[in-house]
């Protein structure tokens, strides 16, 4: 009887495993075929049957992204990130992508940076962070990230656009530096012009004051004397 119980238990586990594998296998097949709507139910069932199935969870998160269900994608990614292991950098970068699309640039940059702390060679995180920094106006650091991406992905089909972006940003830096130098030069010339004007006005006022003079010889009041002087 005990032997029968073990056999029934094993059979139940086997059926559950096969069902889970069927859900995942079918979901993965549809996912690879870029059919997210069809893959959704199979991947959701696979994750429900085995929440520890890392690849099923990652596929499901990406399917949620493809279907515009960003909040659901974030929930999935946060749930599996702590046990992501070798997938941790990938999961962090995916969260960065979701937050970027949602317009939350602070969180996007945070998770791209976290991805790179988990794997310094995770190239797509450099690209995502560069694009985020473009939107926040941090152009110098964006160029650094673009260049890092190209070092890891020298044959990237995006290389021409990225190089064009870098060239444009650097030309803007050069133009800004020229504008700064011109503004400084104009400020110096204006300061010199004003100083010359002040010097000329001061010289004019000094000239109007006349030459140096001695003691004042103002009119004195003398009392008249009508008497005669007599000599003894």
129, 109 Cβ separation under 8 angstroms:
yes
Where are the chain's structural domains? Answer: 15-83, 87-194
- In tens digits, the chain (232 residues) has pLDDT values of 444 444 444 444 444 444 446 899 999 999 999 999 999 999 999 999 999 999 999 999 999 999 999 999 999 999 999 998 999 999 999 999 999 999 999 999 999 999 999 999 999 999 999 999 999 999 999 999 999 999 999 999 999 999 999 999 999 876 666 677 677 778 887 888 888 887 777 777 777 766 655 555 555 454 554 555 454 5
Distance in angstroms (rounded) separating the CA atoms of residues 22 and 9: 20
Give the orientation angle of helix 88-102 with respect to helix 70-81, to 10 degrees: 150
143, 170 Cβ separation under 8 angstroms:
yes
One fold for 15-83 and 87-194: yes
Placement of tokens 């503004």 in the chain: 183
Q: Is this prediction's pTM over 0.75?
A: no
108, 128 Cβ separation under 8 angstroms:
yes
- In the CATH scheme, what is the homologous superfamily, with its name and number, of domain 87-194? Tetratricopeptide repeat domain (1.25.40.10)
- List, in sequence order, the alpha helices (H) in the chain: 2-32, 36-49, 54-66, 70-81, 88-102, 105-118, 123-136, 139-152, 159-208
Domain 15-83 has CATH 3.30.2350.10: no
């Amino acid at each position: 009887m005990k032997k029968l119980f073990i056999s029934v238990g094993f059979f139940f586990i086997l059926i559950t495993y096969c069902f889970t594998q069927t859900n995942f296998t079918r979901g993965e097949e549809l996912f690879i075929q870029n059919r997210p709507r069809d893959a959704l139910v199979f991947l959701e069932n696979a994750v429900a049957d085995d929440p520890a199935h890392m690849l099923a969870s990652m596929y499901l998160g990406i399917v949620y992204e493809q279907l515009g269900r960003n909040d659901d994608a974030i929930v999935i990614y946060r749930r599996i990130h702590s046990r992501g292991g070798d997938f941790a950098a990938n999961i962090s970068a995916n969260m960065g992508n979701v937050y970027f699309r949602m317009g939350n640039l602070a969180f996007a940059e945070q998770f791209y940076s976290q991805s790179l702390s988990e794997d310094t060679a995770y190239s797509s995180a450099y690209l995502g962070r560069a694009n985020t920094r473009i939107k926040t106006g941090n152009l110098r650091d964006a160029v650094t990230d673009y260049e890092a991406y190209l070092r890891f992905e020298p044959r990237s089909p995006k290389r021409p656009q990225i190089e064009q972006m870098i060239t444009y940003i650097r030309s803007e830096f050069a133009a800004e530096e020229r504008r700064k130098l011109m503004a400084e030069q104009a400020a110096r010339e204006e300061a010199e012009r004003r100083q010359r004007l002040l010097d000329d006005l001061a010289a004019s006022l000094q000239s109007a004051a006349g030459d140096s003079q001695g003691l004042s010889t103002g009119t004195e009041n003398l009392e008249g004397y009508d008497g005669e002087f007599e000599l003894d």
